[in-house]
Chain A
Amino acid sequence: MSLSARMIVVLTVVGLISGSLLAVVGLLTKERIEMNRQQEIQTAINEVIPSTKTSHKIYEDETLTVYESLDENKNNVGFAVYTSGTGFQDIITLMYGVDPSVSKIKNLTILDQKETPGLGAKITDEKSFLRFWEGRNCEKPLSLRKPAVDSPEKLDPSEVNAITGATISSEKVLEIVNLSLQRLKQIKQGGKLSSEEKNAT
């Protein structure tokens, strides 16, 4: 065999074998990866609305996904909002729960972020950031409290705490939440969140 023919044959064969191997691995792991993603969302919903028994997707567009959460008596106990936006360094993906009337935040959880470790990454920290979101009044847009305070009682009902040294990351999270809250209220007014309508169809 001439040299160029050998080169072509070897590379093609190696490529074909690699390709088929990867196709098999892809098939074998695809289901599990999708399952992990679903599970992650499920865990997050239970985290942001602790009384959730079951939940289902009720609204979805490019900016956010809304899950309706029901307790054991099938009563609506709130909506879980899954959304993302630009952070200080990269996209921040988060989920928060609101009560059925969209007037109070229940909890916030950060699903994905690449903020500065030790500073901005504290947005995933319960003690210095997340606990300050519980029970915030969100009828009006939320605002940021800085300099930071050390206990939720010291905040106004519609204020959330900034992280010392990571004001930008805190602001970005606030921005993402405020933007999606505004959108959520619009969707609600459009009647797309009511279970009655869904039951009728």
Chain B
Amino acid sequence: MPPKKSIGAEYLKGLWDENPVFRQLLGMCPTLAVTNAVINGIAMGLATAFVLILSSLVVSSIKKLIPNQVRIATFIVIIASFVTIADRFLAAFFPPISKALGPYVPLIVVNCIILGRQEAFSSKNSVGRSLIDAFGMSTGFILALLILSSIREILGSGTFLGFQVMGSWFKPWVIMVLPAGAFITLGVLLGIAILIESKTKTRST
């Protein structure tokens, strides 16, 4: 096992070094699908964070009880429960957001970030560390969705969180709110992330 990281590093790794979207390329489905508007990106990020943090809490507290052979099945049952709670909660208290996110909230169940963290981290680490890791990963995921959805909403609709930010001269690039725009934006951002990574690496060595 690698040496234990400090608490701060455990949290910060989710923001950049192991950012779920830009570095691990996990959870691409919601990343691409719901980022056509900032509000949807934030809501999806928060819903995923809720599920990830609570699942990590539960999985890391009962990790010793779960037989290795049925661990994935157990993780999925736990994750699915929290997803359903999040889904009902959104439908009851934030119906417009629930409508906009449509089928993507139930699909958090199969978001690889969540299962990935349970398998790679929470099932091997203490409750405290797992929670910090989950918070870090959630922040990283929310940040990534925020960046992606801001670019897409500003260029695709000329608005930010629904407010007009571009002048009347601006003709919205419809492609940015379509699926193709999601792939283009994500591709460019990934390229930038790799560029930054390679630049900082060469400097440090």
Contact = CB atoms under 8 A, between A and B. Distances in A.
Contacts of B149: none
B124 interface: no
B65 A10 contact: yes
Contact of B81 (A11, A18, A36, A112): A18
Contact of A36 (B65, B69, B80, B91): B91
Interface residues of B, number: 29
Contacts of A25: 84-85, 88-89
Nearest to B173: A118
Interface stretch (B44-52, B92-100, B190-198): B92-100
Nearest to B93: A32
Contact of B177 (A40, A112, A118): A118
Given A10-B74, A29-B89, 6 more contacts: A10-B66, A11-B73, A14-B77, A22-B84, A25-B85, A29-B88
Interface in A9-60: 10-11, 14-15, 18, 21-22, 25-26, 29, 32-33, 36, 40
Majority SS at the chain B contact face: helix
B88 A112 contact: no
Contacts of B84: 22, 25
27 contacts: A3-B67, A6-B67, A7-B69, A7-B70, A10-B74, A11-B70, A11-B73, A11-B77, A14-B62, A15-B77, A18-B80, A18-B81, A21-B81, A21-B85, A22-B81, A22-B85, A25-B89, A29-B91, A33-B88, A33-B95, A40-B95, A116-B178, A117-B36, A117-B177, A118-B156, A118-B157, A118-B177
A119 interface: yes
